[in-house]
Structure 1
Amino acid sequence: MTSTLRRAGGFAAVGTLALAAPELGTAAAAPFAIVALLAAFVVDEGPVFELFARPQDRRDGRLNGLAGFALAATGLAILSTAPRESMPTAVFVAAILVVAYGNVGARAVEQWWTDPGRAIAGFSVVAFLAAVAGQLVVGWNLGGVPDLAAVVFLAAAGALVAALLRSMLYERDDPIVMLSTGLLLWLFHAIGVESGLVEVSVALTVTVALGYVSYRTGTASVPGMVTGVLLGLLTIVFGGVGWFAILIAFFAIGGLSAKYKYAEKERRGAAEDNEGARGSGNVLGNAAVALVAVIGFAASTGMQVDSTLFRFAFTGSLAAAMSDTLSSEIGVLFDEPRLITTLERVDPGTDGGITWQGYVVGVVGAALVAGVAVAVFTFDVPGLAALTVVVGGVAGMTVDSILGATLEGGRVGNQTVNFLGTLAGAVVSAVLAVALL
């Protein structure tokens, strides 16, 4: 057993202290606070120090990593014992165990394989199982009957959120991963899970299978795969199968368009990095607005907001993402692009450069999303509903191109421009829905 795996096991043992929360009640933070104090000010040598010390800890002569981990757990424990609006104990336990035991899974896999995809899979599987077990133990100790659908969903969502953050950050950022995971799981718990255990299990199986296919076919990087699986799971659980159909249509068609004539795009100097595989930034830039819309839809009952607006915001944002993706990936193959703001000739791949062929393909992309939306949703006036989605998609594509020509580069990156373009598509579609329907 290597030192990294032993160290991960030590952190997992500390994380297991969370299971004592039902017995400790308001003192649930005490064990972690004690560990943080010992790590920061007392333990500076000996076998315990050697077990938990990371390379930087040895240079500093202090267990900073363990102290940060324990302090993050202390913070979540305090939130779970607050007098009012406290974090559910099961969520607190799941967030800690996801990080603590997920790292054990990743380190164990790394003993045998160097493939980052397998390490992420090891992290996610062990984190999921630990979170399920932790929630069940806490539920039974508190004398209640756990909702198995909610248990599975929160465990899966927590494992995916932590795996995504872990792949984007560094090992020493476990406290950030833990706190972020806990707060997001708290939000998901507050929204509630209406689906049954079978529906949640099928949703998880389908999204994981599709994520694996996207990774193996090269249409998504490891972080992009995890992001896609998480978005898919949340979309199915909070929205439904129809919402997921629109999301997967965008990812499938958009991913294939990035691969289309990739060698020719490389020759023109306009190819995407990583052989067209989507990373987490690309996925979130195109789908973050859609995710907020589906969460808003799930929470709309308590917000006294018409849920239909979130449906149009969702479809409009993805129509904009589809339009922009197809217009960029296909349009770049044609000669004589012009800058959208001045119409002057520019080189292929220039930010804000468009061709009429690419623009037409972008309109077709918005129409594809509108067609899927009309097929899976029930609208009073399907024709007008489709029109609002198409107009929103084209508007978002246009905004994306204008921002690319004027702001992109320097401090404003492509992901930010994509986000603002999809936001424009969502807003235009929602406003048109209010005006026309």
Structure 2
Amino acid sequence: MQESTLNIGLQLLWIDRWAWSFLLNGISLFLAYTFPFLTAQGAIHSGILGMVIWGSLGWRGWIPVVTYLLLGSTVTKLGYRYKRKTGIAESRGGRRGPENVWGSASTAIILALISIYPNVPIDLILIGFSASFASKLSDTFGSEIGKRWATKTILITSLQRTSPGSEGAISLEGTLASLIGSTLMTLIMSACGLISGGVTLALVASTSFVATLIESIIGATLQKRVRCLTNEIVNSIQTLMASLLAICGALLIHAR
């Protein structure tokens, strides 16, 4: 009898979580579409993402995702008039579409769904989840700040000067912004209770930044030669690398 009551309670709790997910995502997406953050289709796909994240990880996973959207969209619009004038601005006025949503969150949503299953190493899953978004915010900060305020832009593979916005281009200003982005997102993940401990935070922030540098190398080499490597696919590869590096790093640390 007690076990039956417990099962019913857990089922009601699960239904309640998804109900809250539907309500809060509806409100937040209305606001995101009202403000110039998402296209109409981008809002729909972000809604799907948000509901899955909330249903899987609850508010702890949902708030960082919404925060990433707000921070990423805001930094994209910094100096937008100049970037549009020079032809290096994001299209659609900086609004994010479905391809941007899944390019940024494909790794995270897979990890969120894995977290539902019993007996999974949830600490490692959350480390990978955190690193994926920290890496993406790192990339967004570095790219958008570098395109607008870089005084000297070089190609990461050859160190020769190149134009801002080029694939594989890096700058001192953009690199510092990337470090800020990865650190900021790591702190947000920690504030929401997804990760904790100084060593873990340092691991997530550093591997996220390293994955951003690797993404620049891919952009400077393979992306120019392989037609199917769109920006969105490269973004997915980047977040996957960040997650794997962070998880492997955590395993090595715990193995000592």
TM-score of the two chains, using structure 1 as the length reference: 0.54
Contact 1:335 1:348 in 2 (8 A): no
Cα distance between partner residues in 1 of 2:12 and 2:182:
31
Residue among 224, 247, 269 paired with 2:87: 269
| 1:351 to 2:167 alignment | yes
Classify 1:237/1:269 alpha carbon distance in 2 versus 1 (closer, same or farther; 3 Å): same
Please give the secondary structure, in 2, of the residue aligned with 1:220.
coil
Identify which of structures 1 and 2 has the higher relative contact order when contacts are C-alpha pairs closer than 8 Å and 6+ apart.
2
Residue among 237, 242, 247 paired with 1:425: 242
| 1:398 to 2:216 alignment | no
After superposition, the C-alpha distances for 1:147-184 in whole angstroms (9 at most, x for unaligned) are 999xxxxxxxxxxxxxxxxxxxxxxxxxxxxxxxxxxx
Instruction: Specify the code of the residue in structure 1 equivalent to 2:144.
Output: E
Contact 1:221 1:277 in 2 (8 A): yes
Please give the secondary structure, in 2, of the residue aligned with 1:338.
strand
* Residues matched between the structures, number: 245
| 1:293-312 mapped onto 2 (5 Å cutoff) | 293-299=111-117, 301=118, 304-312=119-127
Cα distance between partner residues in 2 of 1:378 and 1:283:
21
Aligned twin of 2:61:
243
Cα distance between partner residues in 2 of 1:193 and 1:217:
36
Cα distance between partner residues in 1 of 2:203 and 2:114:
20
| 1:127-138 mapped onto 2 (5 Å cutoff) | none
Root-mean-square deviation (CA, aligned residues, Å) is 2.1
Show structure 1 runs of 5+ residues with no match.
1-146, 150-191
Shift of 1:329: 0.9
Show structure 2 runs of 5+ residues with no match.
1-6
Contact 1:317 1:392 in 2 (8 A): no
Instruction: Specify the code of the residue in structure 2 equivalent to 1:346.
Output: T
Please give the secondary structure, in 2, of the residue aligned with 1:377.
coil
Cα distance between partner residues in 2 of 1:218 and 1:230:
19
Aligned twin of 1:415:
232
After superposition, the C-alpha distances for 1:376-420 in whole angstroms (9 at most, x for unaligned) are 2265x6101111110121022112111111122432110011011
Cα distance between partner residues in 2 of 1:401 and 1:383:
27
Contact 1:331 1:358 in 2 (8 A): yes
Classify 1:204/1:317 alpha carbon distance in 2 versus 1 (closer, same or farther; 3 Å): same
Higher Rg of the two aligned structures: 1
Cα distance between partner residues in 1 of 2:97 and 2:194:
33
Give identity over the alignment, percent: 24
Cα distance between partner residues in 2 of 1:323 and 1:202:
30
Aligned twin of 1:282:
100
Classify 1:288/1:193 alpha carbon distance in 2 versus 1 (closer, same or farther; 3 Å): farther
Aligned twin of 1:330:
145
Instruction: Specify the code of the residue in structure 2 equivalent to 1:391.
Output: S
After TM superposition, what 4+ stretches of structure 1 lie above 6 angstroms from structure 2?
none
Please give the secondary structure, in 1, of the residue aligned with 2:115.
helix
Aligned twin of 1:215:
33
Cα distance between partner residues in 2 of 1:411 and 1:293:
25
Please give the secondary structure, in 2, of the residue aligned with 1:329.
helix
